[in-house]
Amino acid sequence: MKLHEYQAKSIFSRYGILVPNSTVAYTSEEARDIADKMGGRAAVKAQVHAGGRGKAGGVKIGHTPTEVATIAESLIGTNLVTHQTGTDGAPINCVLVEEATSIKQEMYFSIVIDGATKSAIAIASLSGGMDIEEVAATEPEKILRVSIDPGVGFSSFQGRSLGYQLGLSDANIKAFSKIASNCYKVFIDNDCSLIEINPLAITGDDTLTALDAKIEIEEDSLFR
């Protein structure tokens, strides 16, 4: 079962993973009010179960509350067509209005089930904001992988090692390791089959923030 971005970010927040301030809007008027409270400038993000939203026009920046409302009105009630949806697209029933964030660097981080080892694997790359499948096909050397022993879990050493290989500063290596460890807690506690942050960004104030969030839950566990 796929969760929307706003749902995934709500879970992230409960586990101490930093996400931007954001609120869901179901109408353009709600979007305007939310943006006004944020100071006017905000990102408007279509909430659909598909990747590639940015390239398809599903993520836009509004510089005033009125502009945010106009963008929201143009998205809500329409279908967004991306490379993952097919020609019919996916319906947009709501948008996430999110504070605009200055970005110094983007990264990719995910935890998925590795079919070969039948256990979880952490994946990290400096190619944040890009389609990870495309990166894997064209520049596989840019993708880092770490197998997670189910009996031990994700260790702080593994997080620090990934952060070091990504070339992060000492402070951000520590922050990255904590985020990765907390993601694994989310993964286990919620019976996930996938957790993805793309991008995980170093913002203007030098903090690591999950600018996007994707969670898929194993359907066999939904009875919980």
What are 3-13's pLDDT values in tens digits? 999 999 999 99
Q: Please name the amino acid found at residue 109.
A: F
In the residue annotation, 108 being an active-site residue is answered as yes
Does the pLDDT of residue 51 top 90, yes or no? no
* Catalytic site residue from 5, 30, 98, 196: 196
pLDDT confidence of residue 190: 95
pTM of the predicted structure, to 2 decimals:
0.92
Indicate the SS3 state at residue 43.
strand
- Quickly state the pLDDT bin for 112 (edges 50, 70, 90): very high
pLDDT bucket at 191, cuts 50 / 70 / 90 = very high
CB environment 48-84: b (16+ within 10 A), e (fewer):
bebbbbeebebbbebeebebbbbbbbebbeeebbbee
Annotated catalytic residue 196: yes
The catalytically annotated residue of 108, 133, 139, 216 is 108
